[in-house]
Chains A and B, each alone.
Chain A
Amino acid sequence: GDSVTQMEGPVTLSEEAFLTINCTYTATGYPSLFWYVQYPGEGLQLLLKATKADDKGSNKGFEATYRKETTSFHLEKGSVQVSDSAVYFCALKGSDYKLSFGAGTTVTVRA
């Protein structure tokens, strides 16, 4: 079945540091890929998405590129802020409507 493997956390960074969270997937066919963010005490928000190979999703300074050859969708941000402290989830949608999630990566940014 579909599955997502996500870099284990927690990750602690200083402000303005570069952030990468690795995500790889296993799926049949051509899944859509997503990154969701969960701020403390809140629900999940869609951060960015990509629906086909080589697509780049971007939002709020975050980027991720759908790499079919490496089955990856790594999340990157060039300069993080304290407000980026959150839990980040990689997810995929296969042939049905269900989302399969990774375990989540907790990111803490220190001033």
Chain B
Amino acid sequence: EAQVTQNPRYLITVTGKKLTVTCSQNMNHEYMSWYRQDPGLGLRQIYYSMNVEVTDKGDVPEGYKVSRKEKRNFPLILESPSPNQTSLYFCASTKTSGRSYEQYFGPGTRLTVT
């Protein structure tokens, strides 16, 4: 079954404690991205990756890092989380072959930073 998995699904942490949210896809997609969802703002792209070792900033990258060492994994790293990073995070994996475009979303990670 084609899927995008994220872990953890829920996380409560304290300001400044480094954390990583993992994301994995089993569809061999080259393009992956991270979004955050906030009330009244919809989803905004944090970072994206066009392929292994190729990453770039999205619309709201401040306070986040990513890496893409393998095609299937795209972890999101918060080196020093702050309360304004409390949000719902979605990883997405995108099929981009030819004229076809389909975006698959993970189940989401609800992060609370106190």
Residues of A that sit less than 8 Å from B by CB: 4, 6, 32, 42-46, 89, 91, 93, 97-99, 101-104
Contact = CB atoms under 8 A, between A and B. Distances in A.
Contacts of B58: 98
Tell me if A's interface is mostly helix, strand, loop or mixed.
Answer: strand
Contacts of B41: 103
B74 interface: no
A89 B43 contact: yes
A42 B40 contact: no
A98 B108 contact: no
A32 B94 CA distance: 14
Given A43-B105, A43-B107, A97-B94, A104 B42 contact: yes
A104 B107 CA distance: 17
Contact of A93 (B101, B105, B106): B101
A45 B105 CA distance: 7
Contacts of A101: 35, 42-44
A6 B33 CA distance: 23
A103 B41 CA distance: 5
A43 B102 CA distance: 15
